Structure 1
């Protein structure tokens, strides 16, 4: 039962709900259908499609804007995709492509019966209400997605809601990293240490070199946040502070819609999120993939 009466309850609810709607949102970029939609436009490689589709709500965004708002990708990785992607197709075509990819993935993974059912329609309305209350001030990716028109079909309404909620949370998390004085590579080193992960996969996924990773670890060590690739008590405290502040901001839409609607949203989305998490093979090789809370 999700409660949102106390600060701790709101934080727990925000994190639980993130673990659910993130599995719906990631279909935007990490499915065969999303890759095929971007490739059909002429993208060269999956990362060009990813950066262009995610940045498309901004219009034909500069590399600098994407480096800033996506935060933990190496600038060189972004520059290999942008602005070349905009010569392949304009932002409006990428927006159409990402919606097409999501539609195809949802039809394959959930099936027509689920998509046409009354529970999905109810979920879509609950998601839209929550997303409409999601903070966008100081949250550029959330704001850019919130400015787009809502799709008509319920399964795509729910996707659009999940995307706004996800980007609002992500924007808020970046704000906490900036406030904590963690630069993009340092934030990844902290994440890896907190999850007892090797940096190799993380570096490859986000584009940082071994030397850049080591330099970031050295800076964290100098600050007393890291020791022998493990977080110190001070590092644990800073990581917890960032996560708590992120959850505080992400709880805002659920407080707005109320406890009953929040609980109903979680109840309806849980089996769908489990199905998507189990069936979305394309996302399982992401070292930052969010594992569904059972």
Structure 2
């Protein structure tokens, strides 16, 4: 396996995980447990493995949100629902959505979970706060619950590594979205609306990147910008592969999970394009 395998696996794990953010039933479950509004639900459910985390921890580890956006949700969320209640709710609701859109998900989970758990056990945790917090949650007894939790843990492993790459290259949270938008053509408004950056923030990030020779006068990637984007993705893949190299059946696990990810993509439960940068599997 080369490092690109890690990206292929992320493409199938991400839809399985991401129902927690977008599926109507998951949003309703967050409201039922006491969380108020979509973004309070997002920040609380994703950060709950940390315990009652404050906004500074989430700003640092999520990396790409405007700090004011985080502070509108946290720490207020913990006055409406405890982290333990949120963790239980997110798992149950996400698994129920997977069962609804992937009829054979229980069998898929039974085949895939052992290898995913082996990858989690093998993956280095140093510098990977979101991964480590999810890794240390109790393993659910239900196979579909366990599949969702494993997908979540491994996508956070990749995400933590990506943040490390951005930080190393001196790319801040807003700049990362400007680069991604310029590279993929995904409209800038999607990133601004979903990550809290203003038009002024966006323009300032563009100017900083242009000053480094990464964007041209029209906001497109220069040759240096394309090279940096390729480097960031390749390095992210290499860091993510540290979880998978010693898992003998992981290639077969990718094949087992791919139909489930495609079923989720076809279900309409996740929008495309989306602010995670995920494409249909």
Q: TM-score, normalised by structure 2?
A: 0.96
Per the alignment, residue 134 of structure 1 pairs with 123
Distance 1:267 1:282 in 2: 21
Is residue 266 of structure 2 the alignment partner of residue 274 of structure 1? no
Per the alignment, residue 7 of structure 1 pairs with none
Per the alignment, residue 24 of structure 1 pairs with 16
Distance 1:182 1:32 in 2: 34
Per the alignment, residue 172 of structure 2 pairs with 183
Distance 2:276 2:150 in 1: 22
Is residue 162 of structure 2 the alignment partner of residue 173 of structure 1? yes
Q: Do 1:34 and 1:98's aligned partners in 2 also have CA atoms closer than 8 Å?
A: yes
CA RMSD of aligned residues (A): 1.4
Q: Do 1:39 and 1:49's aligned partners in 2 also have CA atoms closer than 8 Å?
A: yes
Which residue, 144, 167, 187 being the options, matches 2:133?
144
Q: Do 1:205 and 1:286's aligned partners in 2 also have CA atoms closer than 8 Å?
A: no
Structure 1 residues 107 and 197 mapped into 2: Cα distance closer, same or farther (>3 Å)?
closer
In structure 2, list runs of 5 or more residues that go unmatched.
none
Distance 1:71 1:219 in 2: 18
Q: Do 1:43 and 1:85's aligned partners in 2 also have CA atoms closer than 8 Å?
A: yes
Per the alignment, residue 212 of structure 1 pairs with 201
Superposed, which structure 2 residues align to 1:102-113 within 5 Å? 102-111=94-103
Distance 2:280 2:175 in 1: 26
| Consecutive aligned runs of 4 or more in structure 1 exceeding 2 Å deviation | 280-289
Per the alignment, residue 155 of structure 1 pairs with 144
SS of equivalent to 1:283: coil
Q: How much has 1:28 moved relative to structure 2?
A: 2.2
Superposed, which structure 2 residues align to 1:34-183 within 5 Å? 34-111=26-103, 114-117=104-107, 119-183=108-172
Is residue 183 of structure 2 the alignment partner of residue 194 of structure 1? yes
Deviation readout 1:12-58 (Å, 9 max, x if unpaired): 21111110111111122221121011101222211100100100000
In structure 1, list runs of 5 or more residues that go unmatched.
5-9
Q: Do 1:60 and 1:86's aligned partners in 2 also have CA atoms closer than 8 Å?
A: yes
Q: How much has 1:277 moved relative to structure 2?
A: 1.1
Per the alignment, residue 11 of structure 1 pairs with 3
Q: Do 2:19 and 2:97's aligned partners in 1 also have CA atoms closer than 8 Å?
A: yes
Q: Do 2:30 and 2:90's aligned partners in 1 also have CA atoms closer than 8 Å?
A: yes
Deviation readout 1:92-145 (Å, 9 max, x if unpaired): 11111111211221121123xx1343x431112122112222221110000000
Distance 2:231 2:198 in 1: 28
Q: Do 1:32 and 1:282's aligned partners in 2 also have CA atoms closer than 8 Å?
A: no
